[in-house]
Structure 1
Amino acid sequence: MNFTTKKPTKSLHLVSLGCTKNLVDSEIMLGKLKDYEITNDASNADVIIVNTCGFIDSAKEESINTILTLHDERKEESVLVMAGCLSERYKDELQKELPEIDIFTGVGDYDKIDQLVNEKRSSFSDEVFLLSETNDRVITGSSYHAYVKLSEGCNQTCSFCAIPSFKGKLHSRTLESLVKEVKNLVKSGYCDFSFVSQDSSSFLRDMNIKNGLEKLIEEVEKIEGVKSARILYLYPSTTTLKLIEKIQKSKIFENYFDMPLQHISSNLLKIMKRGKGVEKLKELMDAMRKVPNSFVRTTFIVGHPGETQEDFEELCTYVKEYKFDRANVFSYSDEEGTTAYDRIDKVAQDIIDQRADILGEIISKTTKESLENEIGKEFEVYIDGESQEHEYLLSARKKSWAPDIDGEIYINDNELVDESNEALQLKFGSIYKVKVTELVGDKLLATVIK
């Protein structure tokens, strides 16, 4: 008789902090460690990986706290890995100060994580890692939506941002590599895509191609099986009216415009080195708003060195008038290695906090207005599954919205019936037409009609 003994599977616990770009890198690590069983129980995991964020103070604190908490919980013979942006940015200091960590790695070795874990060795490659279509990747969190990373690094010199200091200059993927990846994802059942990078509107500019995103839109539209797509993180000085028009005319790309403005006062935009005059910036924003059924999202920083009360009031007035669909406000964070760090006209922390609260309130109102405008409307949604609120409510997302950040719609009624006049079972991950009936708190309620 031939008895084959099955090798016991080792388990892996992975925490991905920070942005969706980090999430893509985490999914690459999961693909490289496919032999491991993914577990939510860190205390029993054989390998624990934290993909850290090093963007601002609060993100750095969260990364350190997470890794120390996991160290306290883990079993003795487990391997604890610190990867990603924070690890890259402070590699020398962290390796000295955190003897608890077994393996340190930065932003260049995601595709070598299996080797590093096997050999229990740290590594910091000089090159930033950029996915090619041949890499395995385990998509998390959705059966139909995937993030696709366009590029790494950034050529902008924003006064407040340290990312280029550890991610380097813009390094775009080739269009061919992106098309292959999307085709492979479509074969695996994915139909909805969010294209992301530090500065998406500069895609291919490092290859002397000025209209990279327009070319991307053309190529993605040719791929059979893609039902919807959106582009996140446009940059003011590299976004054009032609690009906005291209998105508007596309049958696949949603009229979704996500452009972090950071400020609107010409004084602050100069100090922040944002590379676009206020008039041109407002012209772009107005063009986005004029697109039928457009959805406009942005972020702002308050309390940047040099921000006067007049600058702040100008920002508040603009946000009230423009009525962004979604916006986030960040309190200025002093980051070593940035030009803002060395300025002497710093704003006091209590004033920064106060300004963040005031702008946050204004944004809450404009978000509520945007949601109220949906009442009575009919549009397409993706149904994700049962909501966490109640088993009789289904969780859905408007087709044009980005996952996780733009909101959730509760489906509480279904007009579709089968041959025997019973309510039709709705499929998760599929598109349905709904009619919005009301807004409860920050959630829209809707009925499936088609």
Structure 2
Amino acid sequence: MTTPHTPPTSTPMSNPISTPISTPITADLLRGALDLERTAHGVLPHRLPARARAQNTDGQLAMAESQPSGVRLVLRTRATAVELDTLPTKRVYAGAPPRPDGVYDLLVDGHLTRQASATGGNTLTIDMTAGSAEHRPGTVGTLRFTGLPERLKDVEIWLPHNETTELVALRTDAPVEPVPDRGRKVWLHHGSSISHGSDAASPTTTWPARAASLGGVDLINLGFGGGALLDPFTARALRDTPADLISVKIGINVVNADLMRLRAFGPAVHGFLDTVREGHPTTPLLVVSPILCPIHEDTPGPSAPDFAGMSEGRLRFQAMGDPADRASGKLTLGVIRDELARIVERRAADDPHLSYLDGRDLYGEADYAELPLPDELHPDAATHRRIGERFADRAFAATGPFGTGD
């Protein structure tokens, strides 16, 4: 998957297909989703299975797992025009400027060819100061991609990584069929909002999507904004999902939620890894610690937003904990990295397919000086690209944990 600097855009104002062929949107046309929920409008891709969703009581995780980061429609067709009806749910933050619409990336034979955004949609208004949210229903929008090459080709439509998206209808000017198995390895990744893709420019430029492209693998991204909290139902989802390579990026959410103390963290990590290993006893498994985040390197959580610049579109986070509380077991990123390295070293004595990667190798002090975290927690678009490229260099190299060993 290559990324031109300025891919052409497609808009809903293009002329509709004159004699469209409608194709039901089914699981065999989708990659990256673990479940499809039937809705009143169509289907809603989920990145957690129904059993896990039934055990979750956190509204933030429910929203995050329904945002289709890494989920894409994959078609083989001679069509020169593709129409997709969708019902997005767009987030609005009270007191803040409007957020940009989610981006759809269309790839032809692995090359980014068009980008578009959907109009209409539901609206979810979130008031961070009051801790409330209001959902308002909206209308279905239509994306039209035209002028595609008139030959047999593989077409991928990557859904917005940060916008819940119901898929309503698919129309083309030539028949479509599922793409046969291309023999690529499947990489299953779990992490926080950084893995989810917060502040990436588009769905194919989140750091996991970029790394998967460079590594030549098929991505299943279970990165959940605010949701990498060692939940047992997430571990079971990883356990039960077929994969050739697995990585788990652990730490920042545990700190910024102030979720647990060191006494609980170690056993929770062991239990999470034990569950994954029940389904994947010899699959290469890479544990990745947090990237550099100066506000929490030595200061425990929780994190709290500073709303001072919200009306100008500036939101920054601050650490509310006391560094002295580390003595009583409160967690910082430094403490978590030490504990993860210790756990992996101990387990690797009996698990030769288990590896550890220090997140600061992906983004460290020199990177922060050059590309600081705009809100003190999340990387920007350029940093996503850098993290993805570095992960690919370290993980997918021949001698890396996901390499061939040659």
Instruction: State TM-score, norm by structure 1.
Output: 0.33
Ranked by relative contact order (alpha carbons within 8 Å, sequence separation 6 or more), the top structure is 2
Higher strand proportion: 2
TM-score relative to the length of structure 2: 0.36
Higher helix share: 1
